[in-house]
Amino acid sequence: MDKLIIEGGIALEGEVPISGAKNAALPLMAATLLARGRHGFSNVPRLRDIRTMQNLLGHMGALCESGEELTIDTSGIATLEAPYDLVKTMRASVLVLGPLVARYQRARVSLPGGCAIGARPINLHLQGLQQMGADIALEHGYVVATAKRLHGAAITFDQITVTGTENLLMAASLAQGTTILRNAACEPEVVALAEYLRKMGARIEGAGTEEITIEGVTELTPATHEVIPDRIELGTYLVAAGITHGHLQLTRCRPEHVEAVIRKLQMTGLKMEVREQSIEAWGTGEIQSVDMKTWPYPGFPTDMQAQFMALMSLGNGVSLITEQIFEKRYMHVSELRRMGANIEVEGRSAVVRGVGRLSGAPVMATDLRASASLVLAALAAEGTTEISRVYHLDRGYEAIEKKLAAVGARIHRVRDIRGA
């Protein structure tokens, strides 16, 4: 397993181009199952999760080719199953459920288990499909869903769910009649999926609001689409500018997708010049401690909580951070503490008392965003940090050490010969 070695204490300076968003690309890839033929996507990040989705679609009989563009030809779909091995490495595999039942009337998808950030059930995906007429059975760890043809339904989510909204959006596009999704997720990734579905011929209104109306059609056709920039990668590099007191130009991004993050980081003292497709950010003086609560979009994203906590570890006072989306998303706390952070967790909240400095230490990545917070802390820490299990980071940050090295970070990757 690879390790990252980071020597901290350098103010980062220069330009970082933002990659396409993994969480936008994955549902687009699943949507290819809705229409037979060749689909094409540009700005797809080169990441482990994308390869996992390619493997999953390949297992079903799709032909995936990744060059400048990712093309997916779904003419040969023969296996309507997402096996345990793939679902366990990537929960987003569950996104194939809705498209498969809608188009092929049958799907067998392994149940994802709990994960490092919480229990993460998929009951709302399943309830929605049942309301649309699917029979759902749980057999040998698999969800087996069957339906003659799904029908439209009025579905109110008990809780806002991003992939749940995406799954039902895809299923409803080929259902008979009208589906209304209430308390739907408003995330930009949901809007991006709806845009692609519309290009394929779907009739969708209201994506990006809490109520989405979908009039089912009988057939969809493949199209091409550009993946939106990754707002979480953007937020992570904004924190990198703040935590290292650096000066970064973040380009090829969509600042309107990170308004809550921009507002919060401005309160910490980060200065920003926001342009249409780029943000110039520079850290000034002391890092101000501020409180933060995670919310569904357009609130402060849970996927930025760990990175924000790394920043608050070096704040000038006390910050109360409350995680409202995933109950256990504090796996980074013990590792940040090993670097000298003063953080106490109580239930869903963390009290972060700023310390004067962090010091490099051997630490372990536990999930994608936790790993990003360790990289950020390491960039600011005195001395050398060794981050093991960086495969978590490779799931969601394209070329992270190259991008950081290009703006002055002393970072390199090594193979851990002990295989720890």
Q: Does 23 bind ligand EPU (CB under 6 A)?
A: yes
Spatial CA neighbour of 350 closest among 337, 369, 363: 337
CB of 324 to ligand EPU, least distance (A): 9
Question: Which is it for strands 135-139 and 142-146: parallel, antiparallel or unpaired?
Answer: antiparallel
The correct pick among 61, 118, 208, 298 for binding ligand EPU (CB under 6 A) is 118
Stretch that binds ligand EPU, among 78-86, 118-126, 194-202, 260-268 (CB under 6 A): 118-126
DSSP secondary structure string for all residues of 193-246 = HHHHHHHTT-EEE-BTBSEEEEE--S-----EEEPPB-HHHHHHHHHHHHHTT-
Q: Does 164 bind ligand EPU (CB under 6 A)?
A: yes
Q: Does 64 bind ligand EPU (CB under 6 A)?
A: no
The correct pick among 120, 198, 252, 254 for binding ligand EPU (CB under 6 A) is 120
Residue 1 DSSP one-character state: -
Chain mean position to CA 419? 27
CA 302 to CA 299: how far, in whole Å?
Answer: 9
Q: Does 122 bind ligand EPU (CB under 6 A)?
A: yes
Output the CA torsion 227→232→238→244 (10° steps): -130
- Is 66 exposed, middle or buried, given 0-12, 13-18 or 19+ CB atoms closer than 10 A? middle
Residue 94 DSSP one-character state: G
Q: Does 56 bind ligand EPU (CB under 6 A)?
A: no
Instruction: Please say which residue, 143 or 200, places its beta carbon nearer to ligand EPU.
Output: 143
CB of 117 to ligand EPU, least distance (A): 6
Stretch that binds ligand EPU, among 136-144, 174-182, 268-276, 299-307 (CB under 6 A): 299-307
Stretch that binds ligand EPU, among 130-138, 160-168, 239-247, 315-323 (CB under 6 A): 160-168
The correct pick among 40, 45, 222, 396 for binding ligand EPU (CB under 6 A) is 396
Stretch that binds ligand EPU, among 120-128, 175-183, 280-288, 332-340 (CB under 6 A): 120-128
CA 286 to CA 298: how far, in whole Å?
Answer: 28
**HSE of 138 in the Cβ direction (CA atoms, 13 Å)?**
7
CB of 375 to ligand EPU, least distance (A): 14
Instruction: Please say which residue, 265 or 325, places its beta carbon nearer to ligand EPU.
Output: 325
> What does the block give as tokens for 247?
């000066």
Q: Does 125 bind ligand EPU (CB under 6 A)?
A: yes
Instruction: Please say which residue, 119 or 137, places its beta carbon nearer to ligand EPU.
Output: 119
| Helix, strand or coil, per DSSP, at residue 263 | helix
DSSP secondary structure string for all residues of 375-399 = HHHHHHSBSEEEEE-THHHHTT-TT
CA 32 to CA 18: how far, in whole Å?
Answer: 25
> What does the block give as tokens for 47?
């990441």
Q: Does 14 bind ligand EPU (CB under 6 A)?
A: no
Asked if residue 149 lies in contact with residue 178, where contact means CB atoms within 8 angstroms, the answer is no
Active-site residue identified among 64, 115, 186, 253? 115
Phi, psi (degrees; rounded to nearest 5) at 168: -75, -30
Q: Does 325 bind ligand EPU (CB under 6 A)?
A: yes
Tell me if residue 115 is catalytic.
Answer: yes
Q: Does 159 bind ligand EPU (CB under 6 A)?
A: yes
CB of 23 to ligand EPU, least distance (A): 4
Asked if residue 325 lies in contact with residue 294, where contact means CB atoms within 8 angstroms, the answer is yes
**Residues numbered 174-193 forming contacts with ligand EPU, rule: CB under 6 A:** 189
Q: Does 299 bind ligand EPU (CB under 6 A)?
A: no
Q: Does 207 bind ligand EPU (CB under 6 A)?
A: no
The correct pick among 35, 92, 170, 375 for binding ligand EPU (CB under 6 A) is 92
Asked if residue 371 lies in contact with residue 25, where contact means CB atoms within 8 angstroms, the answer is no
Q: Does 162 bind ligand EPU (CB under 6 A)?
A: yes
* Residues designated catalytic: 115
Contacting residues toward ligand EPU, per CB under 6 A: 23, 26, 91-92, 118-125, 159, 161-164, 189, 301-303, 325-326, 368-369, 396
